[in-house]
């Protein structure tokens, strides 16, 4: 074997190794590209691989991924900015919803058919009395529908002028709100009120405003529908009274705002997903804000669970920092 032949053999071997190495690198790059294409086509949740973002506040995400994550959009439109005054009071039984049931004529009670806690309907027979004068028996019917909250007599006893039963109806209650002098100018009859407890809210209106010379405040009466039995007499209740309202050509729900780098922004939909948008705002009532610029009517923005989009931006910032 000559020296020249050995040199050629070494060169061929080296060339073959280089070709094989280049082929392996190309195959690996091709496999990575295919894997990326497969991942891009799958449905992923935010926080996984389904949402991609860049440094300018754009987040790429499909409609299906956003729905899976619970992100619900709202449409920018006109609305009202309402000024509220908060008042405090207590629920009470309406005066015409309490009845003390008595016998019409003195006599012996022969029947008393209801007890405390029973519900009776107006016109229902609830007792019978034998008149001391005529010795004839007559029926006593319920004057109103309601619950028996007290019973003062039993069969065999004499009925005179004392009440036999107390009936109370809770289908409607009154809320008596205290209106102090500093609030008096803003509060008027007919204004809308949102009645609130820890467990429920209901809209109503101020039906009456009453003064008492012995009290340093006025009383606003609000009728509270209690057909769903959510309220009870004696509850302490908050009232948010709409004292004024302004029509705005464009408003946004305040729940959409997320604070990013010290700024309140919203996430507006675009072709590929969402983009952050800072708005110039006008009046606000705590629930909605007037939009002066930065958003157009008809544009959609993330409302429910928009914090997930903020979190995804935060991940991107952290990864760039490293």
DSSP per-residue letters across 189-218: TT-EEEEE-SS-EEEEEEEEEEE-TTSSSE
Q: Which of 311, 298, 297 is CA-nearest to residue 260?
A: 311
The pLDDT mean for the chain works out to: 84
Q: How many separate domains does the chain show? A: 3
Residue 104's pLDDT is what?
A: 94
Judge if 88 and 217 occupy the same domain. yes
> At a CB cut-off of 8 Å and minimum separation 6, what does 147 contact?
117, 118, 119, 167, 168, 169, 170
CATH classification of the domain holding 232: 2.40.30.170
Judge if 89 and 205 occupy the same domain. yes
Least confident piece of the model among 6-20, 151-165, 298-312: 6-20
What span, in angstroms and rounded, lies between the C-alpha atoms of 119 and 146?
Answer: 6
- 71 within 8 A of 258, measured Cβ to Cβ: no
Q: Alpha helices, DSSP H only, in 86-223?
A: 181-184
DSSP assigned state of 104 = S
Residue 58's pLDDT is what?
A: 84
Residue 120's pLDDT is what?
A: 98
Domain boundary (122, 152, 168) is at 168
Judge if 232 and 176 occupy the same domain. yes
CATH classification of the domain holding 290: 2.40.420.20
pTM of the complete model:
0.65
Domain boundary (111, 139, 168) is at 168
Residue 80 has pLDDT above 50, yes or no: yes
User: Residue range 285-290: average pLDDT?
Assistant: 92
Domain assignment present for residue 26? The answer is no
Render 278-306 in DSSP notation, one character per residue: E-EEEEE-SSEEEEEES--TT-EEEEETT
pLDDT greater at residue 12 or residue 148: 148
pLDDT digits (tens, 9 = 90+) for 219-269: 999 999 999 999 999 999 999 999 999 999 999 999 999 998 888 999 999
Q: Is 238 exposed, middle or buried, given 0-12, 13-18 or 19+ CB atoms closer than 10 A?
A: middle
Query: Which pLDDT band, with edges at 50, 70 and 90, does 44 fall under?
Result: very low
pLDDT greater at residue 99 or residue 9: 99
Least confident piece of the model among 11-15, 89-93, 149-153, 184-188: 11-15
Residue 56 has pLDDT above 90, yes or no: no
Domain assignment present for residue 267? The answer is yes
Judge if 317 and 260 occupy the same domain. yes
What span, in angstroms and rounded, lies between the C-alpha atoms of 92 and 169?
Answer: 11
Judge if 88 and 232 occupy the same domain. yes
Helices and strands, counts by H and E, the chain? 4, 23
- The tokens for 280 are 């110039």
Residue 188 has pLDDT above 60, yes or no: yes
Residue 92 has pLDDT above 80, yes or no: yes
Domain assignment present for residue 271? The answer is yes
Domain assignment present for residue 15? The answer is no
Judge if 157 and 294 occupy the same domain. no
Judge if 113 and 142 occupy the same domain. yes
What span, in angstroms and rounded, lies between the C-alpha atoms of 245 and 27?
Answer: 67
Domain assignment present for residue 66? The answer is yes
| Domain membership of residue 107 as a residue range | 98-168
Percent helix, strand, coil in the chain, to 5, is 20, 45, 35
Domain assignment present for residue 152? The answer is yes
User: Residue range 294-301: average pLDDT?
Assistant: 95
Backbone angles phi, psi at 164, to 5 degrees: -90, -40
């Amino acid at each position: 074997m000559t020296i020249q032949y050995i040199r050629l053999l070494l060169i061929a071997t080296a060339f073959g190794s280089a070709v094989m190495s280049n082929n392996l690198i190309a195959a690996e790059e091709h496999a990575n590209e295919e894997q990326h294409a497969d991942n891009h086509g799958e449905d992923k949740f935010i926080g996984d691989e389904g949402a991609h973002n860049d440094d300018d506040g754009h987040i790429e995400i499909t409609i299906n991924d956003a729905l899976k994550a619970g992100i619900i959009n709202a449409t920018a439109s006109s609305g009202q900015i309402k000024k509220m005054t908060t008042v405090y009071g207590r629920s009470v039984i309406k005066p015409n919803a309490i009845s003390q049931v008595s016998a019409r004529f003195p006599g012996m009670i022969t029947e008393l058919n209801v007890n405390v806690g029973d519900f009776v309907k107006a016109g229902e027979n609830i007792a019978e009395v034998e008149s001391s004068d005529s010795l004839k028996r007559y029926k006593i019917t319920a004057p109103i529908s309601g619950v028996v909250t007290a019973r003062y007599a039993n069969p065999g006893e004499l009925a005179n002028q004392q009440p036999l039963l107390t009936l109370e109806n809770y289908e409607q209650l009154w809320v008596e709100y205290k209106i102090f002098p500093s609030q008096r100018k803003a509060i008027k009859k007919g204004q809308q009120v949102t009645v609130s407890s820890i467990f429920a809210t209901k809209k109503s209106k101020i039906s009456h405003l009453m003064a008492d010379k012995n009290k340093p405040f006025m009383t606003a009466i609000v009728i509270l529908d209690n057909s769903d039995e959510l309220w009870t007499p004696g509850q302490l209740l908050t009232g948010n009274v709409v004292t004024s309202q302004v029509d705005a050509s464009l408003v946004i729900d305040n729940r959409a705002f997320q604070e990013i780098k010290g700024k309140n922004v919203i996430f507006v939909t675009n072709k590929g997903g969402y983009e952050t948008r800072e708005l110039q705002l006008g009046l606000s009532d705590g629930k909605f804000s007037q939009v002066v610029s930065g958003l157009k009517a008809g544009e959609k923005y993330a409302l429910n669970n928009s914090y997930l989009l903020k979190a995804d931006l935060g991940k991107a910032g952290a990864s760039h920092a490293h």
